[in-house]
Amino acid sequence: MSNEVRRFSHGSRVPGWDDAVDLTKEPASVPDPATTPVPDELRAEIEAAMAKYPDRRSAALPALAAAQRHHGWCSPEAIEQVACVMRLTPAYLTAVATFYDMFDTQPVGRHRVYVCTNISCSLRGADELCERIEQAAAGDPDISVRHFECLGACDIAPMASVDGVYVGPIELDEVDELIDDIRNGRPPLPRKQLRLRPTADSLPLDGKDNG
Amino acid sequence: MPRPEIKMITFSIDGREVQAPENTMLVDAAKYGDVEIPVFCYEPKLGQPVGACRMCLVEIEGIPKLQTACSTPVKDGMVVHTQTQRVHEAQEAVVEFLLLNHPLDCPVCDKGGECPLQDISFGWGGGRSRFVEPKRHFQKPLELSPLIAIDRERCILCYRCVRYSQEVSEDYQLVLQERGAASYVATFDGHPYVAPFSGNIVELCPVGALTSKPYRFRARPWDIEGAGTVCTMCPGQCNVTLTVRDDRVLRVLARDHEEVDDGWLCDRGRFAYQSFHVDERITSPLVRVDGELRPVPWDHALDVAADALKRAGGAVGALAGGGTTNEEGFLLQRIAREALGSPHLDSQRAPVDRRSLLAIGDPGLQATVPDIEYAHAVLVLDTEPVDEMAILDLRIRKGVRRRRVRLAVASARPSALDGNAALSVRFAPGGGPAFAAELVAAARGEAASDDARAVVDLLRGAGEDVVIVASERVGAALAALADALGLRDRDGAGLIVVPSSANGRGLREVGVLPDAGPGLAPVARPGLHAAEMARAGAEGELTAFWLHGVDPLRDLPYRERWEQALDRATDVIAHAAFLTEGIREHATVVFPVEAYAEKDGTLTHPDGRLQRVRPGIGLQGRNRYGWQVLADLGRRLGLELRVLTAGMALAEVAAAVPFYAGLTQDEIGGRGIRWQEREAASAYPRPEGLPDLAAPTVREGAGLRLGTFRSIWASPEVEHSPALRFLVPRQRVEMAPADADRLGLGDGQRVVVSANGSRVEATVTLRHAVPAGSVFLQDGLVRDAANTLTGSVVEIRPAVTSEVAG
Amino acid sequence: MEKLLFKDIDEPGLNTIDVYRRRGGYERLRKALAMPREAVLNELLASGLRGRGGAGFAMGKKVSFLPKGAMDVYLCCNADESEPGTFKDREIMQKNPHLLIEGIIIAAYAAGANKAFIYIRGEYVLQADILDAAIAEAYAAGFLGENILGSDHSLSLVVHRGAGAYICGEETALLDSLEGKRGNPRLKPPFPANQGLYQGPTLINNVETLSTVPFIIEMGGEEYAKLGVENSTGTKLVSISGHVKRPGNYEIELGMRSRDIIYGLAGGPPDGRKVKLWFPGGSSSPVLTGSDEDLDLPYDFDTMAKAGTMLGSGAIIVVDDSTSVVEVAYKTAYFYRHESCGKCTPCREGTNWTLKMLDRIRKGEATPMDLDIIASVCENIMGHCLCVLGDAMAMPVSSMVKKFRAEFEEEIERRRQEADLASAMPEPELPLIQGAVA
Ligand SMILES: Cc1cc2nc3c(=O)[nH]c(=O)nc-3n(C[C@H](O)[C@H](O)[C@H](O)COP(=O)(O)O)c2cc1C
Ligand code: SF4
Ligand code: SF4
Ligand code: SF4
Ligand code: FES
Ligand code: FES
């Protein structure tokens, strides 16, 4: 058996592929403002975004981002609200939202941790780091950990983005502290934040490692 | 935008010099040299090529990389190779990629035998696979809508269906989700893909990923036949091919006609064929005996009907509508006028007098359907294309999207096209003719409302070629408006007048009008129009009604009066396909009407194109041809009509309508011919001036003004097609949120809408775009239809819901 | 070497307009606006500046392609920076945002553009916030908006945040994304210079390219062209990462010996290990080896091209001999499979198939024949796709298979044997690859 190529063991699943429609629902056209309440704050944010562009549709990404901030994720309700303000169909916005990695079309925790497992980070142990962070956060509904492609900070590999804040290089023994910081709403590993890091080029070439 | 000029160039393909129009895509240009380049995603009807599938790669000298022939415009002197090693390898590679995850379940696939993927794999594939990984397997088929099943395993992600939804029907409901290899076709949050034109995606899909649920597993390509004809379910008169097996219609496909339908169909036209073969259809003559309609032999029914008509004589009111052909309409009016001596004939929902019809039908003022696409501006006036002439909706969208036509919409009810319009204006329900008169004033530089001036400025500002798509009920003002805008005798500009029934234009041109005979000739003694007939019937002046394809209770306004009229009439002779209420309750004799798939005759498209309806299946049950039934009746009434075939009936029409002179079935052929383009058009009667244009009517009243519309889904064919039944509309009252607030009503609430003591029940639908003060109800419904109400100012209050125990 | 882009880069407060101006900021703008547009364009042409985003197209030439006329012309700054290994634009935007803004204003002036956008990847939250603040300062100081510094040049500038999709760095996908759509690349032609954003003529340049513009104005194009080597003029930011002691961004003069970058600046692999392979220009560049021949190559556009690879975005990823080439190939393919937009067949299916084959190698389920299939599939992808994302996987993966064939074959054999041993024991549940291979 072992010399054969194993089949059907790593079959694939993409969420959505197996879903039929619900025939009891109405077709989803552009939501009518008369029947789609939108929180004022969100509406204002979306309208401000639309005003920035020659074509209002350009605001789709900022509007979805605003809705995600507001609702925690791009829920069907959130998407309907954006659709209503932007005069687009919710399907259009779903197509957009599912294309981009940063929009969550499934519920997630309040804190998003993206752990980079791309080449440079994985060369420096990111795969194990990612596993450890996942384990440390397991069972905490407030923290969603996911592996991510190169985040553009390979100089601090292995690294993670915690609610948008870049930290790295993260040692395995710093994982608990990191999760603790996140849980308690503290800045994540402040000493390891990218914002504080000098440019490599401006450091003296004294043979000291900084990786 | 005006039509571009076409220049021929010479290029070389596989070593041969070929002439082709400049800038056509190589895929199409290659066909001029009989070279086929395989494609999946390319479909010019969907707009700009996307170059996604990469099936069409070819080698062009001077360009290092292979190029997609679907997106490369051909230029003079281009040297193209489609048969080199490189091209073959690329094609084999693409086929191999496409088949990686394709299940190849052709034996149980509806597409098998007519599948581009099969054909291209065979013709251009390598014939082997090196893919040993497990293929993906998913649940299938899944429902995408009650009409369409989706099999995501078979999908090759060619983008056609989603491009259609976004760039043709513009409903933006069908999209791709996720990205890369995980992409899949889906809708928002599991909502079904239901839209007026959704079925076209089934025809577009190059594999068996999207299939028609009513057609699934009904037939294989080798045991069906195709029969070309014309859909008669609305004035769009789309060209169709019927898929016939064992004398049953199993499917309706588009028969691409650029001048008519552009290759699309609406879902009613595509799926309502089911109603041809349901038990509820009348396929035998019926006579009312002891209060009940009973099947009888033809001769008996014809005798009873002839006796009844003879008895009533000049007191017969005759109406024609639905899919009534030119021949049938012509024979009907001859019998009424000549054998019965009755001038009371009509084919219109709202009366428009002969002089107005003459003016708006003038050949100098007619636009063609494709003109909509190439015009500088289009005005949609007092009509909702998607409901009244469905396929035009797509054409107008195409013009706006692809050729930057400036669109103005003027209507009482918010329109489906508002989103595409550069300007939308609203007038009070029923105010179409008056608003048109204002437009005329504005166009002449006289005093007019701001809205009217804005519309005229927009049209003028866009350019000279203006097409006005308007409902027939607007009447005379249309001609005045076209003249004031300088559209007379302008190629590419003019009017498209949407009649109230599928062959409305034909029926009026063959003389089914109270004040005009064949060819719109004046008549010595004008008769009553439909609404007057109802009154006259109710008052006993008319004693018999002769209904051809019309049920007044369903299709015409003033339901209450019609009920009285039909009730009081001694006889009601009906030609009908279904026992709708008016027929069921009031007809004394019923003749079965053929479905259009059985019919033989001609129709006149709103832009003047005569088209043939040709039988694709034999007559069902004991049906007879409509022209034959009328000829038999005529004979019994002492009128020898000399028609033994449909062709002879057409000859009679052509002899009587001067501007149809000499038309034959052969000349009309499979693609139809516009009579305005024939010599006989010069015989069109000279316009005789216009009646006074409607003055703005100011209707005062405390209540809400009622507007009505008839949904595309409100028709007996839809009710009797099992697959479409879910679309049969129920009454709802569309109103502005402000009005609802004032009345304390909420969305979805059941209410009673009443006027002058008449009432209907409805569900509140709040629509932001409805102007405050107006409400809209639907017509054409089985119950609670708007024509039940006897006034145009209504009151709305919550329905008293009966307490249900538990 | 004198630094240009990284001059004063770590000076506190350089991201504020005050400090920036104290360092001579916006003086180049003043100088440019005093010149006729054509003169600015001529300086750009003379500088020989080649795009720093990946394709290395001459910037001045791109500007000169824009049609002249009355229509709206757009400028889009490509700050999507998602090519694995690349993080140089981040450094500029975070620490010296006004340099980029000044470059954008000057480039827009030369191009006749009046609306500009910075498309920044959504993950760069800090950098986008800094840019927003800097733009507000620039508006307040009259460097943006109507009639800049009293000239007839007006410009609006908006930061547009992406949302996580590598493909949006491809210029036409960027435009679609900026128009609020899924980021699918468009067919070319038409090229963005003719029909780009909102169908208008559009100039698209990388952050680093645009940030270099002020120096060209300051020094003069010819003077700038003296830096670097022929056909690769000027300085370049190099992001170096992976197995090196001092990863980070370095500004070099083009033409520097690669060894001097990898070892000299970045300190080479730690613990005395050897360079096994390196990506010279981001993960989409065919790999070079640790051979002296490769390490001695001068780091410039033409040399890299001649060596069968490319300078790309200037991102060097170093892999030392502690890592199996199979894992590197797998990670590379995984990335492009994940980022393929799915629009065209060879890329969508080909990246997916390649990944599945590499995965089988990792799991000990492959045979050496699979290497031939991988090579052939890569061959079938290359040159057949709508954009070059497909090639971006095919090129490095096939280069690894070709240059490290022996190691691949050894690994295949070794892992098969391991798998055999493992299967003698109760079979463990196979973990799904994260994100699932569809
Ligand atoms: C798949 C793909 C991803 C790309 N990503 C980036 C990117 O993140 N940043 C960038 O500046 N250019 C990127 N490019 C290159 C751009 O398409 C374009 O060539 C560049 O932005 C032009 O700017 P430049 O001439 O200043 O380099 C990418 C190209 C491809 C094909
Ligand atoms: S789509 Fe075509 S190739 Fe695929 S299973 Fe159906 S018939 Fe066969
Ligand atoms: S469902 Fe059919 S039409 Fe739609 S993308 Fe798939 S193969 Fe193409
Ligand atoms: S638009 Fe009208 S004619 Fe065309 S298919 Fe639909 S119902 Fe038939
Ligand atoms: S590889 Fe992790 S940030 Fe680039
Ligand atoms: S037909 Fe040309 S790419 Fe699909």
pLDDT tens-digit series, residues B214-268 = 999 999 999 999 999 999 999 999 999 999 999 999 999 999 999 999 999 999 9
Is B531 in the same domain as B648? Answer: yes
pLDDT at A129: 97
Residue-averaged pLDDT of chain C:
94
Among chain B, residues having any CB pair with chain C shorter than 8 Å are: 48-55, 57, 65-66, 68, 71, 89-90, 93-94, 96-98, 100-101, 130-131, 133, 136, 156-157, 159, 176, 178-183
Mutate to test the pocket of ligand 5, among C241, C244, C335 (most ligand atoms within 8 A of CB): C241
> How would residue B491 be classed by pLDDT, with cut points 50, 70 and 90?
very high
Mutate to test the pocket of ligand 4, among B238, B255, B384, B613 (most ligand atoms within 8 A of CB): B238
Among B63, B83, B103, identify where a domain stops: B83
Among B225, B240, B275, identify where a domain stops: B275
Report whether B763 contacts B751 (CB < 8 A): yes
Q: List, in order of start, the domains of chain A with CATH numbers.
A: 40-99 (1.10.10), 111-201 (3.40.30.10)
Q: Please choose, from the candidates C209, C316, C202, C325, the residue with its C-alpha nearest in 3D space to the C-alpha of residue C262.
A: C316
Atom of ligand 1 nearest to the CA of C392: 1
Subunits that touch chain A (at least 3 Cβ pairs < 8 angstroms)? Answer: B, C
Is B674 in the same domain as B596? Answer: yes
| C37 has a pLDDT exceeding 70 | yes
pLDDT at B804: 45
Task: Give the residue whose CA is nearest to atom 4 of ligand 4.
Answer: B238
User: Are the Cβ atoms of A92 and B737 closer than 8 angstroms?
Assistant: no
Q: Please choose, from the candidates B287, B291, B283, B282, the residue with its C-alpha nearest in 3D space to the C-alpha of residue B300.
A: B287
Ligand 2 centre distance from Cα of residue B110 (Å): 8
For residue B159, give the CATH number of its domain.
Answer: 3.30.70.20
Report whether B34 contacts B16 (CB < 8 A): no
Mutate to test the pocket of ligand 2, among B124, B140, B154, B217 (most ligand atoms within 8 A of CB): B154
Task: Measure the CA–CA gap between C250 and C258, rounded to whole angstroms.
Answer: 13
Residues whose CB is less than 8 angstroms from the CB of residue C210 and which lie 6 or more positions away in sequence, other chains included: C77, C100, C103, C104, C107
| Interface mutation vs chain A, best among C87, C325, C437, most A CBs within 10 Å | C87
Is B267 in the same domain as B399? Answer: no
Single-letter amino acid, residue B732: R
**B693 located within any domain:** no
The secondary structure of chain B in percent helix, strand, coil, rounded to multiples of 5, reads 35, 20, 45
Q: Residue A17's closest chain C neighbor by CA?
A: C438
List C251's β-bridge partners, or say none.
C237
Task: Give the residue whose CA is nearest to atom 4 of ligand 2.
Answer: B104
What DSSP string runs through B703-755? SEEEEEE--TT-SHHHHT-GGGGGG----EEEE-HHHHHHHT--TT-EEEEEE
Which ligand lies nearest the alpha carbon of B234? Answer: 4
Q: CA dihedral in degrees (B301, B302, B307, B312; nearest 10)? A: 100
**B417 located within any domain:** yes
Residues whose CB is less than 8 angstroms from the CB of residue B483 and which lie 6 or more positions away in sequence, other chains included: B365
Task: Measure the CA–CA gap between A74 and A68, rounded to whole angstroms.
Answer: 5
Report whether A100 contacts A61 (CB < 8 A): yes
What DSSP string runs through chain A? -TTSPP-STT----TTTTPPP-TTSPP--SPPTTT----HHHHHHHHHHHHTSSSGGGGHHHHHHHHHHHHSS--HHHHHHHHHHHT--HHHHHHHHHHSTT--SS---SEEEEEE-SHHHHHTTHHHHHHHHHHHHTT-TTEEEEEES--S-GGG-S-EEETTEEE-PPPGGGHHHHHHHHHTTPPSSGGGBGGGPPPGGGS--SS----
Structure tokens at C22: 């104290």
> How would residue B806 be classed by pLDDT, with cut points 50, 70 and 90?
very low
Atom of ligand 6 nearest to the CA of C386: 3
Q: List, in order of start, the domains of chain C with CATH numbers.
A: 17-226 (3.40.50.11540), 238-320 (3.10.20.600), 325-421 (1.20.1440.230)
Residue-averaged pLDDT of chain B:
95
Q: State if residue B53 touches ligand 6 by the CB under 6 angstroms criterion.
A: yes
Tens-place pLDDT, residues B562-594:
999 999 999 999 999 999 999 999 999 999 999
Is B187 in the same domain as B268? Answer: yes
Residues whose CB is less than 8 angstroms from the CB of residue B476 and which lie 6 or more positions away in sequence, other chains included: B352, B353, B355, B356, B359, B360, B690, B691, B693
User: What is the average per-residue pLDDT within C364-379?
Assistant: 96
Residue B602: left if φ>0, alpha if ψ -120 to 50, beta else—which one? beta
| Interface mutation vs chain A, best among B132, B142, B147, B172, most A CBs within 10 Å | B172
User: What is the average per-residue pLDDT within B353-376?
Assistant: 96
Tens-place pLDDT, residues B85-116:
999 999 999 999 999 999 999 999 999 999 99
Q: State if residue C51 touches ligand 1 by the CB under 6 angstroms criterion.
A: yes
Is B771 in the same domain as B800? Answer: yes
Collapsing DSSP states into helix, strand and coil, what is residue C356?
helix
User: What is the average per-residue pLDDT within A26-50?
Assistant: 95
Is B660 in the same domain as B738? Answer: no
Q: State if residue B736 touches ligand 3 by the CB under 6 angstroms criterion.
A: no
User: Are the Cβ atoms of B51 and C383 closer than 8 angstroms?
Assistant: no
Measured N-to-C along each axis, helices C325-339 and C389-403 cross at an angle, to the nearest 10 degrees, of: 170
> How would residue B1 be classed by pLDDT, with cut points 50, 70 and 90?
low
User: What is the average per-residue pLDDT within A192-211?
Assistant: 83
Among B683, B713, B748, identify where a domain stops: B683
Which of C241, C341, C360 has the CB atom closest to A155's CB atom?
Answer: C241
Is B510 in the same domain as B650? Answer: yes
| Chain C residues lying within 8 Å of B181, measured CB to CB | 337, 340, 342, 348-349, 351-352, 438
Tens-place pLDDT, residues B678-693:
999 999 999 888 888 8
Angle made by CA atoms B753, B755, B756, in degrees to the nearest 5? 150
Measured N-to-C along each axis, helices B326-334 and B626-636 cross at an angle, to the nearest 10 degrees, of: 10
| A11 has a pLDDT exceeding 70 | no
CA distances, B452 to each of B384, B421, B428, B467, C176 (Å): 19, 15, 13, 16, 38
Measured N-to-C along each axis, helices C345-362 and C405-424 cross at an angle, to the nearest 10 degrees, of: 60
What DSSP string runs through C4-73? STTTTTT-TTTTSHHHHHHTTTTHHHHHHHTS-HHHHHHHHHHHT-B-SSSS--BHHHHHHHSPPSSS--
Report whether B57 contacts B86 (CB < 8 A): no
User: Are the Cβ atoms of B94 and C346 closer than 8 angstroms?
Assistant: yes
pLDDT at B469: 98
Atom of ligand 3 nearest to the CA of B201: 3
Is B673 in the same domain as B621? Answer: yes
The pairing of strands C315-320 and B292-295 is: unpaired
User: Are the Cβ atoms of C84 and A120 closer than 8 angstroms?
Assistant: yes
- HSE (side-chain half, CA atoms, 13 Å) at B277: 16
Subunits that touch chain C (at least 3 Cβ pairs < 8 angstroms)? Answer: A, B
The reply to whether A35 touches chain B by the CB within 8 Å rule is yes
User: What is the average per-residue pLDDT within B76-87?
Assistant: 96
| B277 has a pLDDT exceeding 80 | yes
User: Are the Cβ atoms of B188 and A10 closer than 8 angstroms?
Assistant: no
- Which residue carries 């490319």 as its tokens? C310
Peptide bond into A158 cis (omega under 30): yes
> How would residue A18 be classed by pLDDT, with cut points 50, 70 and 90?
confident
User: What is the average per-residue pLDDT within C212-233?
Assistant: 96
Is B364 in the same domain as B493? Answer: yes
Report whether B607 contacts B632 (CB < 8 A): no
User: What is the average per-residue pLDDT within C361-371?
Assistant: 94
| B117 has a pLDDT exceeding 70 | yes
Neighbours of B299 (CB within 10 A): 11
Domain range for residue B244? Answer: 131-275
For residue B30, give the CATH number of its domain.
Answer: 3.10.20.740
For residue B666, give the CATH number of its domain.
Answer: 3.40.50.740
pLDDT at B802: 52
**B119 located within any domain:** no
pLDDT at B696: 60
Which of B134, B190, B419 has the CB atom closest to A19's CB atom?
Answer: B190
Provide the shortest C-alpha distance from residue B385 to chain A (in Å): 18
Atom of ligand 2 nearest to the CA of B104: 5
For residue B781, give the CATH number of its domain.
Answer: 2.40.40.20
User: Are the Cβ atoms of B100 and C349 closer than 8 angstroms?
Assistant: yes
Cα–chain-centroid distance for residue B564? 32
| C58 has a pLDDT exceeding 70 | yes
Report whether A96 contacts C180 (CB < 8 A): yes
Tens-place pLDDT, residues C138-160:
999 999 999 999 999 999 999 99
Ligand 5 centre distance from Cα of residue B354 (Å): 79
pLDDT at A9: 36
Mutate to test the pocket of ligand 2, among B55, B96, B115 (most ligand atoms within 8 A of CB): B115
Which of B48, B50, B181 has the CB atom closest to C340's CB atom?
Answer: B181
Task: Measure the CA–CA gap between C8 and B55, rounded to whole angstroms.
Answer: 53
User: Are the Cβ atoms of B181 and C351 closer than 8 angstroms?
Assistant: yes
User: Are the Cβ atoms of B68 and C187 closer than 8 angstroms?
Assistant: yes
Collapsing DSSP states into helix, strand and coil, what is residue B115?
coil
Measured N-to-C along each axis, helices A126-137 and A175-183 cross at an angle, to the nearest 10 degrees, of: 40
Q: Residue C357's closest chain A neighbor by CA?
A: A5
Is B311 in the same domain as B269? Answer: no
| Chain B residues lying within 8 Å of C337, measured CB to CB | 180-181
Q: State if residue C186 touches ligand 1 by the CB under 6 angstroms criterion.
A: no
Tens-place pLDDT, residues B522-547:
999 999 999 999 999 999 999 999 99
Is B801 in the same domain as B734? Answer: yes
Q: State if residue A96 touches ligand 5 by the CB under 6 angstroms criterion.
A: no
Provide the shortest C-alpha distance from residue C266 to chain B (in Å): 36
Q: Please choose, from the candidates C378, C386, C379, C382, the residue with its C-alpha nearest in 3D space to the C-alpha of residue C343.
A: C386
**B429 located within any domain:** yes
Single-letter amino acid, residue B96: E
User: Are the Cβ atoms of B176 and C342 closer than 8 angstroms?
Assistant: yes
Sheet holding B292-295, edge to edge: B292-295, B286-289, B589-592, B571-576, B544-548, B316-320, B345-346
**B698 located within any domain:** no
Structure tokens at B190: 């599991």
Is B412 in the same domain as B466? Answer: yes
User: Are the Cβ atoms of B157 and C341 closer than 8 angstroms?
Assistant: no
List B345's β-bridge partners, or say none.
B318
Single-letter amino acid, residue B219: A
What DSSP string runs through B615-645? -SSPPPTT---HHHHHHHHHHHTT-----SS
Provide the shortest C-alpha distance from residue B147 to chain C (in Å): 27
**B381 located within any domain:** yes
Terminus-to-terminus CA distance in chain B, angstroms?
A: 64
Report whether B330 contacts B656 (CB < 8 A): yes
Atom of ligand 6 nearest to the CA of B50: 3
The reply to whether A120 touches chain B by the CB within 8 Å rule is no
Report whether B566 contacts B545 (CB < 8 A): yes
Peptide bond into C189 cis (omega under 30): yes
User: Are the Cβ atoms of C353 and B133 closer than 8 angstroms?
Assistant: yes
Tens-place pLDDT, residues C21-32:
999 999 999 999
Mutate to test the pocket of ligand 4, among B169, B253, B265 (most ligand atoms within 8 A of CB): B265
Terminus-to-terminus CA distance in chain A, angstroms?
A: 45
Q: Please choose, from the candidates B334, B321, B229, the residue with its C-alpha nearest in 3D space to the C-alpha of residue B665.
A: B229
Report whether B248 contacts B273 (CB < 8 A): no
**B294 located within any domain:** yes
**B125 located within any domain:** no
Task: Give the residue whose CA is nearest to atom 7 of ligand 2.
Answer: B112
Neighbours of B163 (CB within 10 A): 22
| Interface mutation vs chain C, best among B27, B39, B87, B100, most C CBs within 10 Å | B100
Domain count across chain B: 5
pLDDT at B383: 97
